[in-house]
Protein backbone atom coordinates (compact mmCIF):
# COMPACT_ATOMS: atom_id res chain seq x y z
CA UNK A 1 0.00 0.00 0.00
CA UNK A 2 0.99 3.63 -0.40
CA UNK A 3 2.04 5.71 2.57
CA UNK A 4 -1.25 7.52 2.12
CA UNK A 5 -2.92 4.57 3.87
CA UNK A 6 -0.50 4.35 6.79
CA UNK A 7 -2.31 3.78 10.05
CA UNK A 8 -5.79 3.90 8.56
CA UNK A 9 -6.66 0.20 8.84
CA UNK A 10 -10.30 -0.82 8.37
CA UNK A 11 -13.06 1.62 9.26
CA UNK A 12 -14.63 0.86 12.63
CA UNK A 13 -18.09 0.83 11.00
CA UNK A 14 -17.15 -2.09 8.79
CA UNK A 15 -15.48 -3.90 11.70
CA UNK A 16 -18.49 -3.52 13.96
CA UNK A 17 -21.10 -4.37 11.30
CA UNK A 18 -19.14 -7.51 10.40
CA UNK A 19 -19.04 -8.41 14.09
CA UNK A 20 -22.83 -7.98 14.29
CA UNK A 21 -23.36 -10.19 11.25
CA UNK A 22 -20.98 -12.86 12.52
CA UNK A 23 -22.50 -13.02 16.01
CA UNK A 24 -26.16 -12.28 15.20
CA UNK A 25 -26.00 -9.34 17.61
CA UNK A 26 -28.35 -6.36 17.32
CA UNK A 27 -26.43 -3.70 15.41
CA UNK A 28 -26.57 -0.36 17.19
CA UNK A 29 -23.12 0.38 15.80
CA UNK A 30 -23.11 1.63 12.23
CA UNK A 31 -25.59 4.46 11.72
CA UNK A 32 -28.22 3.30 9.28
CA UNK A 33 -31.97 3.13 9.81
CA UNK A 34 -33.92 -0.13 9.69
CA UNK A 35 -36.93 1.60 8.13
CA UNK A 36 -36.55 2.78 4.53
CA UNK A 37 -37.49 6.32 3.71
CA UNK A 38 -40.46 7.92 2.02
CA UNK A 39 -42.47 5.47 -0.09
CA UNK A 40 -43.27 8.02 -2.84
CA UNK A 41 -39.55 8.68 -3.24
CA UNK A 42 -38.73 5.00 -3.53
CA UNK A 43 -41.62 4.56 -5.97
CA UNK A 44 -40.29 7.45 -8.08
CA UNK A 45 -36.86 5.84 -8.17
CA UNK A 46 -38.37 2.53 -9.27
CA UNK A 47 -40.28 4.24 -12.08
CA UNK A 48 -37.17 6.10 -13.24
CA UNK A 49 -35.20 2.88 -13.37
CA UNK A 50 -37.99 1.06 -15.20
CA UNK A 51 -38.87 3.80 -17.67
CA UNK A 52 -35.28 4.64 -18.53
CA UNK A 53 -33.89 7.99 -19.57
CA UNK A 54 -31.41 8.11 -16.70
CA UNK A 55 -29.28 5.04 -17.26
CA UNK A 56 -26.34 6.82 -18.87
CA UNK A 57 -23.90 9.32 -17.35
CA UNK A 58 -25.49 12.30 -15.67
CA UNK A 59 -23.80 15.70 -16.12
CA UNK A 60 -20.75 16.01 -13.86
CA UNK A 61 -22.41 18.60 -11.63
CA UNK A 62 -25.57 16.48 -11.34
CA UNK A 63 -28.84 16.64 -13.25
CA UNK A 64 -30.34 20.15 -13.38
CA UNK A 65 -33.53 19.06 -11.55
CA UNK A 66 -31.51 17.87 -8.55
CA UNK A 67 -29.33 20.96 -8.46
CA UNK A 68 -32.51 23.09 -8.58
CA UNK A 69 -33.97 21.03 -5.73
CA UNK A 70 -30.82 21.49 -3.63
CA UNK A 71 -30.93 25.25 -4.27
CA UNK A 72 -34.61 25.31 -3.32
CA UNK A 73 -33.90 23.28 -0.16
CA UNK A 74 -31.20 25.74 0.98
CA UNK A 75 -33.53 28.67 0.22
CA UNK A 76 -36.49 27.10 2.01
CA UNK A 77 -34.72 26.10 5.22
CA UNK A 78 -31.88 28.62 5.49
CA UNK A 79 -32.63 31.53 3.19
CA UNK A 80 -29.42 30.88 1.26
CA UNK A 81 -29.45 31.67 -2.48
CA UNK A 82 -27.37 29.44 -4.74
CA UNK A 83 -26.75 29.43 -8.47
CA UNK A 84 -27.40 25.82 -9.57
CA UNK A 85 -25.09 26.33 -12.56
CA UNK A 86 -21.98 27.21 -10.56
CA UNK A 87 -22.51 26.78 -6.85
CA UNK A 88 -23.75 23.19 -6.46
CA UNK A 89 -22.15 19.85 -7.25
CA UNK A 90 -23.84 16.48 -6.73
CA UNK A 91 -21.55 13.83 -5.26
CA UNK A 92 -21.51 10.15 -4.37
CA UNK A 93 -22.75 10.71 -0.85
CA UNK A 94 -21.37 13.28 1.53
CA UNK A 95 -18.32 11.01 1.74
CA UNK A 96 -17.19 11.92 -1.76
CA UNK A 97 -17.93 15.59 -1.15
CA UNK A 98 -15.70 15.52 1.94
CA UNK A 99 -12.95 13.74 0.02
CA UNK A 100 -13.14 16.07 -2.97
CA UNK A 101 -13.27 19.19 -0.79
CA UNK A 102 -10.17 18.16 1.17
CA UNK A 103 -8.24 17.02 -1.89
CA UNK A 104 -9.28 20.12 -3.79
CA UNK A 105 -8.55 22.68 -1.09
CA UNK A 106 -5.70 21.32 1.05
CA UNK A 107 -2.02 21.30 0.04
CA UNK A 108 0.69 19.11 1.56
CA UNK A 109 1.82 20.76 4.78
CA UNK A 110 -1.43 22.64 5.34
CA UNK A 111 -3.10 22.30 8.70
CA UNK A 112 -6.78 21.50 8.94
CA UNK A 113 -8.57 22.06 12.23
CA UNK A 114 -11.23 19.46 12.95
CA UNK A 115 -13.53 18.75 15.85
CA UNK A 116 -12.48 15.67 17.78
CA UNK A 117 -13.96 13.04 18.09
CA UNK A 118 -13.74 12.99 14.28
CA UNK A 119 -15.93 11.22 11.78
CA UNK A 120 -13.40 8.71 10.49
CA UNK A 121 -13.26 9.76 6.86
CA UNK A 122 -11.94 13.18 7.91
CA UNK A 123 -8.77 11.67 9.29
CA UNK A 124 -8.27 9.53 6.21
CA UNK A 125 -8.88 12.29 3.69
CA UNK A 126 -6.82 14.97 5.43
CA UNK A 127 -3.99 12.45 5.44
CA UNK A 128 -4.49 11.54 1.77
CA UNK A 129 -4.44 15.24 0.89
CA UNK A 130 -1.06 15.49 2.64
CA UNK A 131 -2.47 17.81 5.28
CA UNK A 132 -2.03 17.71 9.03
CA UNK A 133 -5.07 17.48 11.26
CA UNK A 134 -5.20 19.66 14.30
CA UNK A 135 -7.83 18.55 16.79
CA UNK A 136 -10.07 20.65 18.94
CA UNK A 137 -11.65 18.27 21.41
CA UNK A 138 -15.30 18.27 22.42
CA UNK A 139 -15.42 16.79 25.92
CA UNK A 140 -18.05 15.02 27.98
CA UNK A 141 -20.45 15.73 29.57
CA UNK A 142 -21.78 18.50 27.32
CA UNK A 143 -19.40 18.36 24.32
CA UNK A 144 -19.37 22.15 23.87
CA UNK A 145 -16.80 23.80 21.60
CA UNK A 146 -13.83 25.05 23.65
CA UNK A 147 -13.48 28.37 21.88
CA UNK A 148 -10.12 29.32 23.44
CA UNK A 149 -8.65 26.00 22.36
CA UNK A 150 -9.99 26.60 18.86
CA UNK A 151 -8.29 30.01 18.74
CA UNK A 152 -5.06 28.50 20.03
CA UNK A 153 -5.16 25.81 17.35
CA UNK A 154 -4.83 28.29 14.45
CA UNK A 155 -1.32 28.79 13.08
CA UNK A 156 0.16 30.35 9.95
CA UNK A 157 -0.23 26.99 8.25
CA UNK A 158 -3.95 26.62 8.96
CA UNK A 159 -5.96 26.68 5.74
CA UNK A 160 -9.28 25.14 6.68
CA UNK A 161 -11.63 24.34 9.52
CA UNK A 162 -13.59 21.13 9.04
CA UNK A 163 -16.85 21.31 10.97
CA UNK A 164 -19.59 18.84 11.59
CA UNK A 165 -22.90 19.92 13.07
CA UNK A 166 -25.03 18.15 14.24
CA UNK A 167 -21.93 16.30 15.35
CA UNK A 168 -21.23 12.59 14.93
CA UNK A 169 -20.52 10.85 17.33
CA UNK A 170 -21.31 13.20 20.24
CA UNK A 171 -24.74 14.41 19.09
CA UNK A 172 -23.78 18.02 19.89
CA UNK A 173 -25.39 20.77 17.80
CA UNK A 174 -23.17 23.85 17.50
CA UNK A 175 -24.81 26.94 18.98
CA UNK A 176 -24.91 30.36 17.37
CA UNK A 177 -22.21 31.76 19.67
CA UNK A 178 -19.91 28.83 18.89
CA UNK A 179 -20.46 29.29 15.16
CA UNK A 180 -19.87 33.03 15.51
CA UNK A 181 -16.52 32.38 17.16
CA UNK A 182 -15.52 30.03 14.35
CA UNK A 183 -16.73 32.51 11.74
CA UNK A 184 -14.78 35.35 13.28
CA UNK A 185 -11.64 33.26 13.26
CA UNK A 186 -12.22 32.20 9.66
CA UNK A 187 -12.71 35.79 8.54
CA UNK A 188 -9.76 37.17 10.56
CA UNK A 189 -7.36 34.46 9.42
CA UNK A 190 -8.77 34.01 5.92
CA UNK A 191 -9.68 30.34 6.35
CA UNK A 192 -12.00 28.12 4.36
CA UNK A 193 -14.70 26.29 6.32
CA UNK A 194 -15.84 22.85 5.20
CA UNK A 195 -19.10 22.14 6.99
CA UNK A 196 -20.54 18.62 7.08
CA UNK A 197 -24.25 18.97 7.81
CA UNK A 198 -25.58 15.50 6.94
CA UNK A 199 -27.72 15.45 10.13
CA UNK A 200 -29.22 18.90 9.39
CA UNK A 201 -32.80 17.61 9.77
CA UNK A 202 -32.06 15.56 12.87
CA UNK A 203 -32.10 18.06 15.71
CA UNK A 204 -34.26 17.68 18.78
CA UNK A 205 -34.92 21.19 20.00
CA UNK A 206 -31.63 22.94 19.28
CA UNK A 207 -31.83 24.68 15.88
CA UNK A 208 -29.43 23.68 13.10
CA UNK A 209 -27.58 26.79 11.90
CA UNK A 210 -25.46 26.43 8.75
CA UNK A 211 -22.28 28.45 9.23
CA UNK A 212 -22.67 29.69 5.64
CA UNK A 213 -25.58 31.85 6.89
CA UNK A 214 -23.32 33.92 9.17
CA UNK A 215 -21.98 37.29 7.95
CA UNK A 216 -19.03 36.97 5.59
CA UNK A 217 -19.18 33.17 5.60
CA UNK A 218 -21.07 32.35 2.42
CA UNK A 219 -18.00 33.23 0.35
CA UNK A 220 -15.64 31.01 2.34
CA UNK A 221 -17.75 27.95 3.19
CA UNK A 222 -18.29 24.64 1.45
CA UNK A 223 -21.47 23.12 2.88
CA UNK A 224 -21.92 19.37 2.53
CA UNK A 225 -24.96 17.16 2.99
CA UNK A 226 -26.67 14.14 1.50
CA UNK A 227 -29.91 12.28 1.07
CA UNK A 228 -28.92 9.40 3.37
CA UNK A 229 -29.78 10.62 6.85
CA UNK A 230 -32.58 13.06 6.08
CA UNK A 231 -34.58 10.51 4.10
CA UNK A 232 -33.47 7.16 5.56
CA UNK A 233 -31.81 6.20 2.26
CA UNK A 234 -28.20 5.74 3.33
CA UNK A 235 -27.49 3.22 0.57
CA UNK A 236 -28.34 5.66 -2.21
CA UNK A 237 -25.13 7.64 -1.77
CA UNK A 238 -26.39 10.86 -3.29
CA UNK A 239 -24.83 13.91 -1.68
CA UNK A 240 -23.77 17.43 -2.56
CA UNK A 241 -21.42 20.30 -1.88
CA UNK A 242 -22.58 23.90 -2.15
CA UNK A 243 -20.77 27.19 -1.84
CA UNK A 244 -19.18 30.00 -3.81
CA UNK A 245 -18.31 29.16 -7.41
CA UNK A 246 -14.52 29.20 -6.89
CA UNK A 247 -14.65 26.67 -4.05
CA UNK A 248 -17.22 24.47 -5.79
CA UNK A 249 -14.97 24.48 -8.86
CA UNK A 250 -12.18 23.00 -6.74
CA UNK A 251 -14.50 20.28 -5.40
CA UNK A 252 -15.68 19.50 -8.93
CA UNK A 253 -12.09 19.52 -10.15
CA UNK A 254 -11.43 16.51 -7.93
CA UNK A 255 -14.83 14.85 -8.19
CA UNK A 256 -14.53 14.60 -11.98
CA UNK A 257 -11.56 12.26 -11.51
CA UNK A 258 -12.86 10.35 -8.50
CA UNK A 259 -16.21 9.27 -9.92
CA UNK A 260 -16.80 11.61 -12.88
CA UNK A 261 -20.54 11.63 -12.11
CA UNK A 262 -22.85 10.06 -9.51
CA UNK A 263 -25.76 7.56 -9.58
CA UNK A 264 -27.86 8.98 -12.43
CA UNK A 265 -31.04 6.84 -11.94
CA UNK A 266 -31.44 7.99 -8.33
CA UNK A 267 -31.01 11.68 -8.96
CA UNK A 268 -34.61 12.50 -10.01
CA UNK A 269 -36.00 10.79 -6.91
CA UNK A 270 -33.43 12.55 -4.71
CA UNK A 271 -34.82 15.82 -6.08
CA UNK A 272 -38.31 14.68 -5.13
CA UNK A 273 -37.13 13.77 -1.62
CA UNK A 274 -35.71 17.25 -1.01
CA UNK A 275 -39.08 18.78 -1.81
CA UNK A 276 -41.06 16.71 0.74
CA UNK A 277 -43.55 18.87 2.59
CA UNK A 278 -43.10 20.08 6.14
CA UNK A 279 -45.14 17.24 7.63
CA UNK A 280 -42.58 14.72 6.41
CA UNK A 281 -39.75 16.48 8.23
CA UNK A 282 -41.85 17.03 11.38
CA UNK A 283 -42.90 13.41 11.62
CA UNK A 284 -39.44 12.10 10.86
CA UNK A 285 -37.82 14.26 13.51
CA UNK A 286 -40.52 13.41 16.08
CA UNK A 287 -40.08 9.69 15.44
CA UNK A 288 -36.31 9.85 15.84
CA UNK A 289 -36.70 11.92 18.99
CA UNK A 290 -38.98 9.24 20.49
CA UNK A 291 -36.40 6.61 19.57
CA UNK A 292 -33.65 8.72 21.12
CA UNK A 293 -35.62 9.03 24.34
CA UNK A 294 -36.45 5.34 24.37
CA UNK A 295 -32.83 4.28 23.95
CA UNK A 296 -31.44 6.88 26.36
CA UNK A 297 -33.92 5.88 29.07
CA UNK A 298 -33.14 2.23 28.45
CA UNK A 299 -29.37 2.75 28.64
CA UNK A 300 -29.78 4.78 31.83
CA UNK A 301 -31.94 2.02 33.34
CA UNK A 302 -29.14 -0.46 32.69
CA UNK A 303 -26.77 1.80 34.63
CA UNK A 304 -24.76 3.66 31.99
CA UNK A 305 -24.11 7.36 32.31
CA UNK A 306 -25.98 8.71 29.29
CA UNK A 307 -25.27 11.94 27.41
CA UNK A 308 -28.56 12.71 25.70
CA UNK A 309 -27.78 14.09 22.21
CA UNK A 310 -29.29 17.27 20.74
CA UNK A 311 -29.07 15.83 17.24
CA UNK A 312 -27.94 12.96 14.93
CA UNK A 313 -28.69 9.23 15.14
CA UNK A 314 -26.43 8.60 18.14
CA UNK A 315 -26.39 8.61 21.92
CA UNK A 316 -23.15 8.45 23.90
CA UNK A 317 -22.62 6.70 27.22
CA UNK A 318 -19.81 6.36 29.70
CA UNK A 319 -19.33 2.67 30.46
CA UNK A 320 -17.46 3.09 33.75
CA UNK A 321 -20.54 2.92 36.02
CA UNK A 322 -20.90 -0.70 34.83
CA UNK A 323 -17.35 -1.54 35.77
CA UNK A 324 -15.71 -1.24 32.33
CA UNK A 325 -12.76 1.05 31.63
CA UNK A 326 -12.10 0.83 27.93
CA UNK A 327 -14.87 1.38 25.37
CA UNK A 328 -13.02 -0.40 22.55
CA UNK A 329 -12.55 -3.52 24.64
CA UNK A 330 -16.17 -3.21 25.84
CA UNK A 331 -17.47 -3.02 22.25
CA UNK A 332 -15.41 -5.99 21.10
CA UNK A 333 -16.83 -8.12 23.94
CA UNK A 334 -20.38 -6.77 23.85
CA UNK A 335 -21.80 -9.26 21.30
CA UNK A 336 -20.69 -12.11 23.52
CA UNK A 337 -21.72 -10.45 26.77
CA UNK A 338 -25.08 -9.14 25.63
CA UNK A 339 -25.77 -9.76 21.93
CA UNK A 340 -25.50 -6.10 20.97
CA UNK A 341 -23.03 -4.09 18.88
CA UNK A 342 -22.02 -0.47 19.60
CA UNK A 343 -19.14 1.76 18.50
CA UNK A 344 -16.29 2.95 20.74
CA UNK A 345 -15.52 6.67 20.70
CA UNK A 346 -11.86 6.01 21.30
CA UNK A 347 -11.09 5.35 17.63
CA UNK A 348 -12.27 8.86 16.71
CA UNK A 349 -9.64 10.67 18.80
CA UNK A 350 -5.97 11.52 18.64
CA UNK A 351 -6.30 12.10 22.37
CA UNK A 352 -7.53 8.53 22.84
CA UNK A 353 -7.75 8.89 26.60
CA UNK A 354 -10.48 11.52 26.17
CA UNK A 355 -12.67 8.97 24.41
CA UNK A 356 -11.63 5.79 26.18
CA UNK A 357 -14.70 5.24 28.42
CA UNK A 358 -17.22 6.47 25.83
CA UNK A 359 -19.42 4.33 23.60
CA UNK A 360 -21.82 5.38 20.84
CA UNK A 361 -25.24 3.75 20.29
CA UNK A 362 -27.42 4.27 17.20
CA UNK A 363 -31.11 4.82 17.87
CA UNK A 364 -32.26 4.93 14.22
CA UNK A 365 -33.90 1.54 14.77
CA UNK A 366 -37.50 0.38 15.25
CA UNK A 367 -38.85 0.65 18.83
CA UNK A 368 -39.09 -3.14 19.19
CA UNK A 369 -35.43 -3.49 18.20
CA UNK A 370 -34.35 -0.85 20.72
CA UNK A 371 -36.48 -2.57 23.34
CA UNK A 372 -34.87 -5.93 22.69
CA UNK A 373 -31.39 -4.37 22.74
CA UNK A 374 -32.01 -2.77 26.14
CA UNK A 375 -33.48 -6.02 27.41
CA UNK A 376 -30.30 -7.85 26.35
CA UNK A 377 -28.09 -5.19 27.90
CA UNK A 378 -29.61 -6.02 31.32
CA UNK A 379 -27.34 -9.08 31.17
CA UNK A 380 -24.42 -6.76 31.89
CA UNK A 381 -25.56 -6.17 35.46
N1 LIG B 1 -20.49 12.74 7.58
C2 LIG B 1 -20.96 12.27 8.74
C3 LIG B 1 -20.77 13.07 9.98
C4 LIG B 1 -21.62 11.05 8.78
O5 LIG B 1 -22.07 10.57 9.94
C6 LIG B 1 -21.78 10.32 7.59
C7 LIG B 1 -22.47 9.02 7.70
N8 LIG B 1 -22.66 8.22 6.97
C9 LIG B 1 -21.27 10.85 6.39
C10 LIG B 1 -20.63 12.06 6.44
C11 LIG B 1 -21.35 10.14 5.09
O12 LIG B 1 -22.52 10.40 4.42
P13 LIG B 1 -22.89 9.65 3.06
O14 LIG B 1 -23.43 8.32 3.44
O15 LIG B 1 -23.89 10.53 2.40
O16 LIG B 1 -21.66 9.51 2.26
N1 LIG C 1 -22.32 7.63 9.28
C2 LIG C 1 -22.59 6.31 9.78
C3 LIG C 1 -21.94 6.15 11.13
O4 LIG C 1 -21.33 7.06 11.60
C5 LIG C 1 -22.12 5.24 8.83
C6 LIG C 1 -20.71 5.44 8.43
C7 LIG C 1 -20.12 4.44 7.51
O8 LIG C 1 -20.54 3.31 7.45
N9 LIG C 1 -19.12 4.87 6.82
O10 LIG C 1 -22.05 5.13 11.73
Domain residue extents for the chain: 3-30+279-380, 39-274
Centre of ligand 1 from the C-alpha of residue 301, in Å: 30
Q: What is the pLDDT of residue 38?
A: 97
Query: In the CATH hierarchy, which top-level class contains the domain 39-274?
Result: alpha beta
Q: What is the pLDDT of residue 300?
A: 98
Position 182 pLDDT exceeds 90: yes
> pLDDT tens, 308-339?
999 999 999 999 999 999 999 999 999 999 99
CA distances from 374 to 28, 126, 146, 306 (A): 11, 37, 33, 13
Q: By mean pLDDT, which of 14-18, 146-150, 278-282, 300-304 is the weakest?
A: 14-18
Binned at pLDDT 50, 70 and 90, residue 46 comes out as very high
Q: 228: Cβ below 6 Å to ligand 1?
A: yes
> pLDDT tens, 6-44?
999 888 989 999 999 999 999 999 999 999 999 999 999
Kindly tell me the burial class for residue 79, based on how many C-beta atoms sit within 10 Å of its own C-beta (0-12, 13-18, 19 or more).
Answer: exposed
In the sheet that holds 158-164, the strands lie side by side as: 88-91, 239-242, 221-226, 192-196, 158-164, 111-116, 132-137
Using CA positions, which residue lies closest to atom 9 of ligand 2? 13
Choose one of 30, 99, 170, 227 to mutate for the ligand 2 pocket test, by most ligand atoms within 8 angstroms of C-beta. Answer: 30
Q: What is the pLDDT of residue 153?
A: 98
Q: Cβ–Cβ contacts within 10 Å for residue 63, how many?
A: 19
Angle of the 278-302 helix axis to the 367-377 helix axis, nearest 10: 10
State how beta strands 239-242 and 132-137 pair.
unpaired
**Radius of gyration in angstroms for the set of CA atoms belonging to the chain, rounded to a whole number:** 20
Ligand in closest contact with the CA of 13: 2
Measure the CA angle with vertex 30, ends 199 and 335; round to 5°.
Answer: 145
Ligand in closest contact with the CA of 226: 1
State how beta strands 358-362 and 343-344 pair.
antiparallel
Fold match, 3-30+279-380 / 39-274: no
Q: What is the pLDDT of residue 9?
A: 87
By percentage, how much of the chain surpasses pLDDT 70?
100
ipTM of the complex: 0.97
Centre of ligand 2 from the C-alpha of residue 233, in Å: 13
Whole-model pTM above 0.95?
yes
Mean pLDDT for all residues in the chain: 97
Question: Which atom of ligand 2 is closest in space to residue 169's alpha carbon?
Answer: 4
pLDDT (mean) for 212-241: 98
Question: Which atom of ligand 1 is closest in space to residue 228's alpha carbon?
Answer: 15
By percentage, how much of the chain surpasses pLDDT 90?
98
- CA atoms of 121 and 297, how far apart (whole Å): 31
Run of H or E residues at 239: strand 239-242
Question: Which atom of ligand 2 is closest in space to residue 31's alpha carbon?
Answer: 10
Q: Is 221 helix (H, G, I), strand (E, B) or coil?
A: strand
CATH number attached to the domain at 3-30+279-380: 3.90.1150.10
> pLDDT tens, 190-201?
999 999 999 999
DSSP lists the bridge partners of residue 132 as 111
Kindly tell me the burial class for residue 372, based on how many C-beta atoms sit within 10 Å of its own C-beta (0-12, 13-18, 19 or more).
Answer: middle
Using CA positions, which residue lies closest to atom 3 of ligand 1? 168
Question: Which atom of ligand 1 is closest in space to residue 227's alpha carbon?
Answer: 15
Position 217 pLDDT exceeds 90: yes
Centre of ligand 2 from the C-alpha of residue 315, in Å: 14
Using CA positions, which residue lies closest to atom 3 of ligand 2? 31
Run of H or E residues at 23: helix 12-23
State how beta strands 340-341 and 314-318 pair.
unpaired
Q: Is 82 helix (H, G, I), strand (E, B) or coil?
A: coil
Amino acid sequence: SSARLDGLGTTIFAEMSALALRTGAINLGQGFPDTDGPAPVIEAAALTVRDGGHHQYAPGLGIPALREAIAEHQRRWYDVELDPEREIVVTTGATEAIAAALLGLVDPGDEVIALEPYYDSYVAMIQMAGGTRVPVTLRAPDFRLPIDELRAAVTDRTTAILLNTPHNPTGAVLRREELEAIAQLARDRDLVVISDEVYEHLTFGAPHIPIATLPGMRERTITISSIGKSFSLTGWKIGWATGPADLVRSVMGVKQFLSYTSGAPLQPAAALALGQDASYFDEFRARLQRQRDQLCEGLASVGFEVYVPEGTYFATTDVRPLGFEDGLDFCRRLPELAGVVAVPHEVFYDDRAAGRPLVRWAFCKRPEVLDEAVHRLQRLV
